[in-house]
Amino acid sequence: MTRAYLDHAATTPVSPAALAAMTEELARVGNPSSLHTAGRGARRTVEESRERLGAALGARPSEVVLTGGGTEADNLAVKGMFWGRRTAHPERRRILVSAVEHHAVLDPAFWMAEHAGAEIVLLPVDAAGVLDLDALREELAAHADETALVSVMWTNNEVGTVEPVRDVVQLAHRHGVPVHADAVQAAGQLPVDFAASGLDAMTVTGHKLGGPVGTGALVARRDLDLTPVLHGGGQERGVRSGTLDVAGIRAFSVAVEDAVAARPERALRLAALRDRLVAGVLERVPDAVLRGPADLSLAADGTAARLPGNAHLTFPGCEGDSLLYLLDSAGVEVSTGSACQAGVPRPSHVLLAMGVPERDARGALRFSLGATSTDEEVDLVLDVLPGVVERARAAGLVSAGGL
């Protein structure tokens, strides 16, 4: 074992079945909007894929709006639902989002504040990253009539916290406010059933569960007012124009179907690996702190307080970037948090929202496991980590002038 890839939450390998579907489809021609035989064949592939996606995610096929990934689906949800709502109710200007959302939700929300008259309410979380439902309740009691939508992620991508999405839906629907959830990290790892959740819209993406990058969907109720963000040929109920990526869509649907089918067994296996990783790290580096929910249990029905494949720890006196590069040279690939923020030397907004002091938040590492993770990879981490932490600490002391 020379290398360990423990960054599956950033992106995970394309599954062999998805790769086979994709390459087979790429060899074919046909625009699903064309009326000839090749076009009708492509359309059939898209619609079969849509059915597969709906069945795996607890949605009707007609609720699946295919997009070019999670960021696009989140943008369509936040902007489309805001504009859709405001057309009928100009007084509804508030967008309620949790403080720990991914930037694919936070940034469109703040963009709408700058450019479209929205008002953003950041809902607080507790020390484990769990949404404060009382804060949501109070906010809705005071301002429901001015609220356009609520967006709360199903699970957090950095610390693995599972959010109380069903409670959010119940509270918001009592006031007639629609709810979107970013389920990018949840699908394939936890039981995700769109109909049972009561959500109005939900984001999923291909490359976190064995599908290709650039594929995804916004699952959206048919009666949800959604203003298009992309305009053009009127594909996808008119809310997402653009020629459909038949090969990507088929591969995405195969990946989702397989990930959902494999989930019960895989979640158990990943949780066991993750538990060994966490226990091993805490034994070797006793002052490391596990962030996110401390409850690592996995219920028989697959529900959990924390994503089974997630371990997130902070290492006092270390810079996350130093740890990351030292681990990388020792053959271990991890992340300091959200890969989308890599290169930006700011502590994670998620950890800060959880009340982690900035000094501690700087020494964060996320280990995320996936379909290809093995015991040998965990062994390698446990082997090299103590030395890496020692060196990162020494480097931290030097840069802080302590040596």
Residue nearest to ligand PLP (CB): 70
Asked if residue 182 binds ligand PLP (CB under 6 A), the reply is: yes
Q: Is 12 an interacting residue with respect to ligand PLP (CB under 6 A)?
A: no
Rounded CA separation 172/81 (Å): 14
Residue 262 contacts residue 222 (beta carbons within 8 Å): no
- Minimum CB distance to ligand PLP smaller for 139 or for 182: 182
71 binds ligand PLP (CB under 6 A): yes
Please report whether residue 235 would count as binding ligand PLP according to CB under 6 A: no
Considering only the stretches 15-23, 70-78, 320-328, 385-393, report the one whose residues sit in contact with ligand PLP under the rule CB under 6 A. 70-78
Contact between 70 and ligand PLP per CB under 6 A: yes
Helical packing angle, 246-284 and 16-26, nearest 10°:
160
Q: According to CB under 6 A, which one of 12, 75, 161, 205 is a site residue for ligand PLP?
A: 205
Amino acid letter, 44: R
What are the φ and ψ backbone dihedral angles of 394, each rounded to 5 degrees? -60, -40
Q: Which two tokens stand for residue 23?
A: 């390459």
Provide the mask over 323-342, with x wherever binding to ligand PLP is found by CB under 6 A and - wherever it is not: ----------------xx--
C-beta of 339 vs 384, nearer to ligand PLP = 339
Active-site residue identified among 19, 262, 340, 394: 340
Least distance from ligand PLP to the Cβ atom of residue 182, Å: 5
The answer to the question of residue 320 lying near ligand PLP (CB under 6 A) is no
Sign of CA dihedral 284, 287, 292, 296: positive
364-368 and 310-314 beta bridge pairing:
antiparallel
Identify which of 320, 308, 315, 322 has the alpha carbon closest to the alpha carbon of residue 276: 308
* Helix/strand/coil for 347: coil
**Region from 179-187, 232-240, 260-268, 308-316 binding ligand PLP, contact rule CB under 6 A:** 179-187
In the annotation, is 340 catalytic?
Answer: yes
Q: Pick from 12, 73, 10, 2: which is nearest to 256 by CA?
A: 12
Which of 43, 31, 28, 75 lies closest to 243, judged by CA?
31
**Contact residues for ligand PLP (CB under 6 A)?**
69-71, 74, 102, 104, 153, 157, 182, 184-185, 205, 207, 216, 339-340
Instruction: Kindly list the catalytic residues.
Output: 340
